[in-house]
Copies of this chain bind each other. A is one copy, B any other.
């Protein structure tokens, strides 16, 4: 009936390539990595996975909205990091939760929290389950049980204020689900993280998700007008306001709280009419450093393109964007109100003044799509996590990490990441490929996004991957960049996070958690060392 999600990999199960397609991918990966095409391995099934018996059954009061079915438990065991996909692919579901709660309303959420606090059961707020940082997994420690609180039943748009262009949306709505409800009113949130198909509004808020816009209001932080969160100590709801100067912003405590302070149940979000004008262009640079200068000039010109993505030569090639061995800067502007011709023309002029070449900008009205390079890139962007899962099935190590730093530090950061990650891949995998793009640009710095692919040794991939990830995290922290621009902290990035933020801030956050979640049952081990 409803389309099934993969038991182990990214997204829809029916998107997993068949054996012919996988053989093609294996040949391609072999060519890129300079190895024999890796062998096809069979994915696990619900029958073959190794999953422990639950330690605890749902109590009677919660039973009506809980499930201890094998499939439900399996589907809530892992997030979608490389590590998660590998563990799931190899049938390791040892961290399965004891049962899953599917609250029907806010009262159910509160009931689960109260029960968890009374019984010493860890509660894991769960949206789309797409965390790539260990944000939704069973915590270590002396918990009697672990129960994901899956908000999928709370997926409605409750109210629309067309005058203020805002919508009250339940936290469990996925990207497509909330967009389909807004579309009927001619509105859109236009927040498209790569996980859009499956991730949820609540998850975006909890992890400070980054949208696909390269500049201006793109983080979910910017789109949030007010938020409602259920905590073990009661409801934490902020006021609908376009802006306020009253004390430290309460919303900003919820944004990025990653499920450790409460369960986000709904939010008023700023929405907008669907764009009618779309202007786009691609600008070629001889190398990535030249492209970075072009991207910086545009970011500092006050033009605010919706797309300002810089692809290094290999990223461009792998995304199917013609670049002739150079780097490519993809530019786009969009508006529901007016032609963006003057904007794109000025952006192209700024980029070409920095040494880029451009075949010309084009603008389309009232229809989807920009120039061919933009379209090629968009498809590659959406397909990337499916590709990662397919590579895992071939034993290839493939992962991404992202950051942000000020412009003055970018060159040193890029050189250091290249050196350390390529060195690590050489040491533990015998080689590999590292590429870089900018996903977002700010007046004071870019958000570089790195992808690495390396040959894995069957059964040792996670050890190999852990070493590469370790040196990458260390390079980011030591170069003054952030441990994460939009992937969140979870458990995986905590060592970097603890070096990035002031120790007194960690102490403050711990004190806040003690106020809102005194039993400490909410997502233990995320953000804070428990």
Contact = CB atoms under 8 A, between A and B. Distances in A.
12 contacts: A166-B406, A210-B245, A239-B501, A242-B444, A248-B252, A248-B255, A249-B255, A250-B502, A303-B338, A508-B511, A508-B512, A511-B512
A482 interface: yes
Interface residues of A, number: 91
A208 interface: yes
B256 A482 contact: no
B236 A443 contact: no
A482 to B, nearest CB: 4
Given A346-B337, A511-B515, A161 B408 contact: yes
Decide if the interface of chain A is mainly helix, strand, loop or mixed. loop
A18 to B, nearest CB: 36
Interface in A231-274: 231, 233-250, 252-258, 270, 272
A489 B247 CA distance: 7
Given A301-B338, A404-B243, A504 B484 contact: no
A101 interface: no
Contact of A256 (B165, B248, B304): B248
A258 B247 CA distance: 7
A406 B240 contact: yes
Interface in A482-530: 482-489, 493, 497, 500-505, 507-509, 511-512, 514-516, 527
B242 A405 contact: yes
Contacts of A188: none
Nearest to A406: B164
B511 A511 contact: yes
Contact of A445 (B164, B249, B254, B503): B164
A444 B405 contact: no
A186 B419 CA distance: 37
A408 B502 contact: no
Contacts of A165: 300, 407, 443-444
A500 B350 CA distance: 45
A239 B239 CA distance: 29
A253 B483 CA distance: 20
Contacts of A507: 233, 515
A453 to B, nearest CB: 24
Given A511-B512, A511-B514, A406 B241 contact: yes
A484 B245 contact: yes
Nearest to A209: B245
- In order of increasing CB-CB distance, the 7 nearest A-B pairs are A242-B445, A242-B442, A252-B252, A244-B482, A342-B342, A511-B511, A164-B406
Given A209-B245, A301-B337, 8 more contacts: A163-B406, A165-B444, A225-B406, A238-B501, A239-B480, A241-B404, A248-B255, A508-B511
